[in-house]
């Protein structure tokens, strides 16, 4: 349904999304799960992903495990909400985050994407057309695995991040060591090699070292660094949650 709705004109999509939301409130009524992003409870979360992960997607805001984990970290462990002005770059923005960041930051919030026309600016992250130290915060999640020259994009993030700023640059970690092969260009071959037709590599735990190679200091945060087992279970973070890569200069 989501794919079909996304192709419809905006005036039609709005009531359909509202209807889906109301139906979801009824079907998933309960308090077994809690989404810290939309702050709704539900009986359970939806399955999601190529491997059909259980308890993965919030039926209300459609967030996944990695989004809920990142939101917990941003709101409890960073200075984003300390009331001091900050300029934030949000690459490939998730719909459920946009109103929250926009309300907090106002005109200092910038969304960017290479292909999405709804983003505020069209941006190639390997060539960010902003001067050095432009942003206090950069958030880019599950994008670099689509980028041929990820090191160049990392250098651009490092260049445009303020010296006292921070970035969260998350990717899926699904290999023992990062694997890439520029010769693999066929979508079906990429699916076999990298897990998705539009991925160009699989990242391993050495991803943090790739970030350090361009000058970042990197802290890797896991689920149990933020919540206990019971809290993780209720928020759907017990399995499938990505690590958070918190980067500073």
Per-chain mean pLDDT for the chain: 90
pLDDT tens by residue, 116-125:
999 999 999 9
> Quick one: 178 and 163 in the same domain?
yes
**Strand ranges for 81-191 from DSSP E:** 88-91, 109-113, 121-122, 135-141, 161-170, 179-180
Nearest C-alpha neighbor of 36 from the set 227, 168, 240, 170? 227
Mean pLDDT over residues 5-16, rounded? 61
What pLDDT band is residue 20 in, cutting at 50, 70 and 90? low
The pLDDT, as a whole number, for residue 21 is: 59
**pLDDT-wise least confident of 41-50, 89-98, 196-205, 227-236:** 41-50
What pLDDT band is residue 22 in, cutting at 50, 70 and 90? low
> Quick one: 59 and 79 in the same domain?
no
Picking from 41, 63, 85, the residue at the C-terminal end of a domain is 63
Picking from 9, 42, 63, the residue at the C-terminal end of a domain is 63
Residue 17: domain span: 1-63
Backbone angles phi, psi at 5, to 5 degrees: -60, -40
Nearest C-alpha neighbor of 219 from the set 208, 203, 204, 228? 208
Are 74 and 168 contacting, i.e. CB atoms less than 8 angstroms apart?
A: yes
What pLDDT band is residue 11 in, cutting at 50, 70 and 90? low
> Quick one: 99 and 187 in the same domain?
yes
> Quick one: 104 and 49 in the same domain?
no
Picking from 63, 94, 113, the residue at the C-terminal end of a domain is 63
> Quick one: 177 and 59 in the same domain?
no
> What SS3 class is residue 168?
strand
Q: Which residue has the tokens 């994407």?
A: 113
> Quick one: 73 and 13 in the same domain?
no
Mean pLDDT over residues 43-71, rounded? 88
> Quick one: 118 and 176 in the same domain?
yes
> Quick one: 97 and 209 in the same domain?
yes
Q: Is the pTM of this model over 0.85?
A: yes
What count of residues does the chain have?
249
Instruction: Identify the CATH number of the domain in which residue 85 sits.
Output: 3.40.50.150
Number of domains in the chain: 2
The total of other beta-carbon atoms located within 10 Å of residue 238's CB is 18
Write down the H helix ranges in 179-222: 187-194, 207-213
Q: Which residue has the tokens 């590599």?
A: 201
Mean pLDDT over residues 80-93, rounded? 96
């Amino acid at each position: 349904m989501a794919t079909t709705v996304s192709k419809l004109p905006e005036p039609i999509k709005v009531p359909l999304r509202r209807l889906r939301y109301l139906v979801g409130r009824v079907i998933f009524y309960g308090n077994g799960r809690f989404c810290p992003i939309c702050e709704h409870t539900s009986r359970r979360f939806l399955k999601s992903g190529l491997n059909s992960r259980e308890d993965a997607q919030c039926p209300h805001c459609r967030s996944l495990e990695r989004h809920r984990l990142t939101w917990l970290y941003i709101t409890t462990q960073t200075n984003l909400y300390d009331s001091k002005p900050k300029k934030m770059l949000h690459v490939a923005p998730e719909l459920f985050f946009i109103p929250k960041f926009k309300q907090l930051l106002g005109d200092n919030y910038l969304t960017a994407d290479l292909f999405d026309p709804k983003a505020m600016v069209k941006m190639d992250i390997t060539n960010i057309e902003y001067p050095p130290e432009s942003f206090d915060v950069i958030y880019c999640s599950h994008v670099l695995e689509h980028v041929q020259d990820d090191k160049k994009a990392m250098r651009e993030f490092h260049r445009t991040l303020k010296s006292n700023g921070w970035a969260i640059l998350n990717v899926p970690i699904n290999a023992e060591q990062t694997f890439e092969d520029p010769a693999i260009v066929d979508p079906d071959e990429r699916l076999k090699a990298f897990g998705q037709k539009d991925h160009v590599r699989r990242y391993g735990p050495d991803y943090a070292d790739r970030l350090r190679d361009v000058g970042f200091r990197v802290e890797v945060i896991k689920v149990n660094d933020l919540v206990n087992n019971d809290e993780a279970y209720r928020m759907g973070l017990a399995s499938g949650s990505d690590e958070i890569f918190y980067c500073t200069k």
